[in-house]
Each structure stands twice: as structure tokens, then as C-alpha cells.
């Protein structure tokens, strides 16, 4: 009777471990949530296109910024985001932004790119989740 009990206990432990091994990778993907929405932005001739991007409060987005001419910078004012955008054909800059609070977040070129550099600006608008109104 004791031997049968030990065999059953071992089977229970092995079955439990197998269930955990199968369930853990799925649980990890649920915790990570869905992949962020990708927003593509182009930089060229002293402007960003689109110049305004709208996200929902709490939404994480991936910003993919490419240059259609020379090297540029991309800085979101008041945050730690400051990316270097390679010149045309040399790749893209990738960064993430989470709209943690409703409001307007200015972005600008942070690398001197020519005479119109100071006009190279845009905004990320974060909509409140409850009302949908933008401040």
C-alpha cells in the first residue's frame, strides 16, 4: 500500500510539472499584453509627417521614424525620448511612447538639419480614456 501511494505521488508531481511547463509560456504572453500599435512618421524638409499623432490614455505605441532626406533627431519634450534618425535609405529610428496622462506632448527635431530646423515640430495628443476629449 505504501509503495502504491509513492508511485501515485510521483505521477502527480510529474503531471503537475508538465502542466506548469505548458501553462507558463502562455501565462507570460498574457501578462505582456498585446503588441503596441505601430505609428510611422517621416521627417523631411523641416517637417514631420504626420505632424500630429493621437493615442489613447494608457496606450503604448511604437514610433518608427524615417528620414526622406538628411539625418534628423526626434525628441519628445519633457520626456527622456531623444532619437537619432538616420538619413534616407540608412534605416529607421524606433522608440516607444506611452500616453500615461492626457494632454499634448510636443516633439521636435533635436539635430541641426538646416535653415528651417526650428520649424520642425509636431505633437502627440493623448486622449483621456473616459471622456474622449483632448485637453
- Domain ranges for the chain: 1-33, 37-127
Mean pLDDT, the chain, rounded, equals 82
Biggest alpha carbon distance in the chain? 89
Half-sphere exposure of 92 (CA within 13 A, CB side): 12
Helix (H) or strand (E) holding 96: strand 93-98
**Helix intervals (H) in the chain:** 2-32
Fold of 37-127: Immunoglobulin-like (2.60.40)
Per the omega criterion (within 30 degrees of 0), is the bond before 22 cis? no
**Which residue, among 116, 118, 123, has the nearest Cα to 97 in the 3D structure?**
123
Percent of the residues in the chain that have a pLDDT greater than 70, as a whole number: 71
**Per-residue CA distances from 11 to 2, 3, 19, 101 (Å):** 14, 13, 12, 52
pLDDT at position 125: 98
Per residue in 7-51, pLDDT (tens digit) is: 445 655 454 434 444 444 444 333 356 899 999 999 999 999 999
- Residue 133, classified by CB atoms within 10 Å of its CB into exposed (0-12), middle (13-18) or buried (19+), is exposed
Query: Is the pTM higher than 0.75?
Result: no
Q: Which three cell numbers stand for residue 44?
A: 523631411
pLDDT at position 8: 46
Amino acid at each position: 500500500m505504501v509503495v502504491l501511494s509513492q508511485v501515485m505521488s510521483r505521477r502527480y508531481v510529474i503531471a503537475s510539472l508538465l502542466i506548469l511547463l505548458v501553462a507558463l509560456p502562455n501565462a507570460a504572453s498574457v501578462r505582456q499584453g498585446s503588441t503596441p500599435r505601430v505609428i510611422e512618421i517621416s521627417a523631411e524638409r523641416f517637417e514631420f509627417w504626420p505632424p500630429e499623432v493621437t493615442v489613447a490614455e494608457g496606450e503604448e505605441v511604437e514610433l518608427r521614424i524615417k528620414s526622406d532626406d538628411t539625418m534628423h533627431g526626434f525628441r519628445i519634450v519633457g520626456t527622456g525620448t531623444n532619437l537619432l534618425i538616420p538619413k534616407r535609405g540608412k534605416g529607421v529610428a524606433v522608440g516607444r511612447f506611452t500616453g500615461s496622462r492626457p494632454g499634448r506632448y510636443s516633439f521636435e527635431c533635436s539635430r541641426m538639419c538646416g535653415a528651417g530646423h526650428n520649424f520642425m515640430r509636431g505633437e502627440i495628443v493623448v486622449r483621456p480614456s473616459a471622456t474622449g476629449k483632448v485637453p
